[in-house]
Structure 1
Amino acid sequence: MPYAHGGDADLYYEIHGAGTPILLSAGMGGGAGFWRPQIEALAARHQVILYDHAGTGRSGRDIGPRSITEMARDMARVLDAAGVEDAHVAGHAIGGIIGMELALAAPERVRSLTIVNGWARADGFLRRCFEVRKRILLASGPEAYVRAQPLFLYPPRWIAENIAVLEEEEAQMVAHFPGTQTMLNRIETFLAFDGRERLADIRVPTLLAAAKDDALVPSYLSTLLAEGIPDARIAEVDWGAHAFSAVTPDVFNEMLLGFCGEIDQ
């Protein structure tokens, strides 16, 4: 298995396909597996790079608190290890925040930026959602945290129709949970992030992809991002909730491929 070495955590990564590179960064869970519904479609046209965030999955554990700046450096290390100078960067939620940080710190490495259901700062609603998740983790442990997670990520109908799939995924997630303190550290880092004052400094083409029925990160937060980033556009879907890239992968894949293809022309 390939790893990006050189920092305080060895970062697991994967490469699929060939073409203009796309680096995909997951959200709170941090695992490359979040992007499985995207691999086949994207790899038909692009070199697709996935990785596990430091402290999650196959990228080690118990690394202590980690800043967004450090997470962006991790992202750059993965590009280095893959031999890639620049790439389209797409991040889901927190992965999008990390992508924003890389676009600010090293814009020459980011061909385009796609932020899926993201935000510039956690407002009162989003902060309350994360605080509830923290309390579930602290009061009831990782299994309860994992079982509650679909309620934040997926539409009710999709949950009802995919119980068996969810139960299988949950068993894997509990078995490979990064650890309570690691998850708490990640939540605190993302709650502390405030990028509002630097949005105007993002100079790469940016797509804000949002789901109108996202009950965790409302789409108005993507609208605020689009208003603050100079070269940004917003694309909204009606249904799919926070994890719409997994719920309606064909819709998301077409959206991302279209945007990246336009930039590459």
Structure 2
Amino acid sequence: MTSGSHEGLVIHDIHGSPDAETVLLSSGLGGAAAFWKPQIDALLHAGFRVIAYDQRGTGRTGGTLPSPYSIAHMAQDVLELLDATATSHCHFVGHALGGLVGLQLALDQPTRVASLALVNAWSKPNPHSARCFDARLALLDHVGPRAYVEAQPIFLYPAAWAAEHAAQVAAEVDHAFAHFPGADIMKARIAALRAFDVDARLGEIQLPVLVSAAQDDVLVPWTCSQHMARGFPHARIDTLPHGGHAHSVTEADAFNKHLLAFLLHATRRQVMV
């Protein structure tokens, strides 16, 4: 693995051969490359080059955000990352907010995206997720960052899984609190994802698309994925009955199996074209 950054570039990790097809991993609201740890070995074993990065304002990248901040700014960071790493195109895998970044990039720079995998993502706002974000912002404003991060596992994980992995969840909460980016940055990131709406443009995305969802996601209704999949010209939807918003973590083996099958098919299709 190599890690790197240029001045102004998001900090990123590169795994695998420079000659292999690249999978770029973009995480959700937390923004950290480490979210994808359950996928990296499987992707490398399948022969892919993997790039994961810490989003601007978060993790190792840190820094300030432009105002008003938007998903388009996040997509521009990815484009600059592709340029800096000599990556002509990538298979883009995005979780939640990361999926929105992939949608924006596919609309803005379609030649740079070979395929798109969207994990518990959405194409337009919905009232249930809005209610969840209102509650999280209220905790942040009126109780503070510790309460905000303590509530995070409730939205990420099924209750039974969180109870069974209590030590892991506690360690994640402590880490999130120790590396909390600040209320202003968190609010700007939440505002960006809440404003995102490309529902009317899904038909423009002619790429192979995998839509992956867990039916017990308490933050984003899985029906958002179902609706989104219907809007793409070339999409398949894979759903799991359990796993929560972070089912790529809680049901990693099943998720990886579906993701690799999609990526290998997309790669073969690309070679044929």
- Name the TM tier (shorter chain): over 0.9
SS of the residue corresponding to residue 11 of structure 1 reads coil
Q: CA deviation at 1:4?
A: 4.2
Moved over 4 A (4+): none
2:159 to 133, 156, 159: 156
* Aligned position for 1:15: 14
Corresponding position: 1:33 with 2:46: no
Q: CA deviation at 1:16?
A: 1.0
Identity, in percent, stands at 44
C-alpha offsets along residues 5-48 of structure 1, whole Å, 9 cap, x if unaligned? 4xxx4310001123210000000011111111111111122101
Report if aligned partners of 1:10, 1:60 keep a CA contact under 8 Å in 2.
no
State the number of aligned residues.
Answer: 262
Report if aligned partners of 2:28, 2:97 keep a CA contact under 8 Å in 1.
yes
TM-score (norm 2): 0.93
* Aligned position for 2:122: 119
* Aligned position for 2:56: 54
Q: CA deviation at 1:86?
A: 0.4
Summarize the alignment of residues 206-245 of structure 1 with structure 2, pairs less than 5 Å apart.
206-245=209-248
TM-score (norm 1): 0.96
SS of the residue corresponding to residue 245 of structure 2 reads coil
Quote the Cα distance in structure 2 between the aligned partners of 1:10 and 1:85.
17
C-alpha offsets along residues 175-198 of structure 1, whole Å, 9 cap, x if unaligned? 111111000001111111111111
Quote the Cα distance in structure 1 between the aligned partners of 2:121 and 2:6.
26
Quote the Cα distance in structure 1 between the aligned partners of 2:204 and 2:6.
29
Report if aligned partners of 1:64, 1:182 keep a CA contact under 8 Å in 2.
no
Report if aligned partners of 1:55, 1:63 keep a CA contact under 8 Å in 2.
yes
Corresponding position: 1:190 with 2:189: no
Quote the Cα distance in structure 1 between the aligned partners of 2:74 and 2:214.
25
* Amino acid corresponding to residue 141 of structure 2 in structure 1: L
* Amino acid corresponding to residue 27 of structure 1 in structure 2: G
* Aligned position for 2:205: 202
Report if aligned partners of 1:21, 1:86 keep a CA contact under 8 Å in 2.
yes
Report if aligned partners of 2:105, 2:113 keep a CA contact under 8 Å in 1.
yes
Report if aligned partners of 2:95, 2:121 keep a CA contact under 8 Å in 1.
yes
Quote the Cα distance in structure 2 between the aligned partners of 1:83 and 1:250.
31
Quote the Cα distance in structure 2 between the aligned partners of 1:216 and 1:223.
15
Q: CA deviation at 1:171?
A: 1.2
Q: Structure 2: any 5+ residue segments left out of the alignment?
A: 269-273
Quote the Cα distance in structure 2 between the aligned partners of 1:25 and 1:126.
20
Corresponding position: 1:131 with 2:134: yes
Q: CA deviation at 1:81?
A: 1.8
Quote the Cα distance in structure 2 between the aligned partners of 1:62 and 1:167.
28
SS of the residue corresponding to residue 28 of structure 1 reads coil
Quote the Cα distance in structure 2 between the aligned partners of 1:170 and 1:25.
20
Quote the Cα distance in structure 1 between the aligned partners of 2:243 and 2:123.
22
Aligned CA-pair RMSD: 1.1
Q: CA deviation at 1:50?
A: 0.1
